[in-house]
Chains A and B, each alone.
Chain A
Amino acid sequence: MSAARQTKAQRFEQLAAPLERQVYFTCLHMMGNPQDAEDCAQEALLKAFRKLDSFRGDAQFSTWLYTLAARTCLDALRKRREAFSLDALAEDGFEIPDEQAEIFLRLEEKERKAALRQAISQLPADFRAAVVLVDLQGLPYREAARALDIPEGTLKSRVSRARSTLYKILLKHGELFLAEDRLSGERRDG
Chain B
Amino acid sequence: MMNCKECRALLDSRPANGLDGKLQEALDAHLEACPACRMASQVLRDARSLDDLDEVPAQFSSAWRQRITQEEVPPVKQFPRITRWLAVAAALFVLVGGTWMVGRDRVRTADQGSVPAAGAPQPDRNYYGSPDGMRDFAMLEDAPAESAGARTLTKEQAAEKIIRSARMELSTREFDKDVEAVTQALARAGGRVESATLYNSYGSLRVAYYTLRVPSSQLDTVITALRGIGRLVSFSESSEDVSEQYADTENRLLTQRTKMERLQALLAKAESVEDLITIESSISDTQYEIDRLTGQLRGMDSKVDYSTLSLTINELGPIETSQDREETLWERVKNGVKAAFEGFVQLMSDLVVFLSIALPYLLVLVLLVLIIRYIIKRRKNK
Check if B39 sits within 8 Å of A136, measured CB to CB.
no
- Select which of B24, B46, B50, B64 is within 8 A of A185 by beta carbon: B24
Given contacts A12-B68, A46-B68, A167-B40, contact A188 B45 (CB under 8 A): yes
Q: Which residues of B contact A57 (CB under 8 A)?
A: none
Check if B35 sits within 8 Å of A102, measured CB to CB.
yes
Q: With contacts A21-B51, A167-B43, A180-B35 known, what are 4 further pairs, Cβ within 8 A?
A: A46-B67, A102-B35, A185-B27, A189-B48
A88–B40 Cα distance when bound, in Å, is 21
What are 30 pairs between A and B in contact, CB < 8 Å? A7-B72, A9-B69, A25-B54, A38-B60, A42-B67, A46-B64, A46-B71, A49-B68, A50-B71, A96-B39, A101-B36, A102-B35, A105-B42, A113-B46, A113-B50, A116-B43, A116-B50, A135-B48, A136-B47, A163-B44, A166-B43, A167-B39, A187-B18, A188-B14, A188-B48, A189-B48, A190-B15, A190-B16, A190-B17, A190-B18
> With an 8 A cutoff between CB atoms, is A74 at the interface?
no
> With an 8 A cutoff between CB atoms, is A1 at the interface?
no
Residues from 30 to 54 in A contacting B, C-beta threshold 8 Å:
34, 38, 41-42, 45-46, 49-50
Check if B38 sits within 8 Å of A105, measured CB to CB.
yes
Check if A41 sits within 8 Å of B68, measured CB to CB.
no
Q: Which residues of B contact A29 (CB under 8 A)?
A: 50
> With an 8 A cutoff between CB atoms, is B223 at the interface?
no
Q: Which residues of B contact A25 (CB under 8 A)?
A: 50-51, 54, 56
A189–B57 Cα distance when bound, in Å, is 26
> With an 8 A cutoff between CB atoms, is B32 at the interface?
yes
Check if B24 sits within 8 Å of A20, measured CB to CB.
no
> With an 8 A cutoff between CB atoms, is B31 at the interface?
yes
Q: Which residues of B contact A49 (CB under 8 A)?
A: 67-68, 71
Interface residues on B, range: 35 or more
Given contacts A38-B63, A104-B39, A163-B43, contact A138 B54 (CB under 8 A): no
Q: Which residues of A contact B72 (CB under 8 A)?
A: 7-9
> With an 8 A cutoff between CB atoms, is B61 at the interface?
yes
> With an 8 A cutoff between CB atoms, is B41 at the interface?
yes
Q: Which residues of A contact B68 (CB under 8 A)?
A: 9, 12-13, 45-46, 49
In the A-B complex, list the 6 residue pairs whose CB atoms are closest, starting with the nearest: A184-B41, A185-B28, A101-B35, A190-B16, A135-B47, A101-B39
- Select which of A12, A34, A167, A183 is within 8 A of B28 by beta carbon: A183
> With an 8 A cutoff between CB atoms, is B59 at the interface?
yes
Check if A38 sits within 8 Å of B59, measured CB to CB.
yes
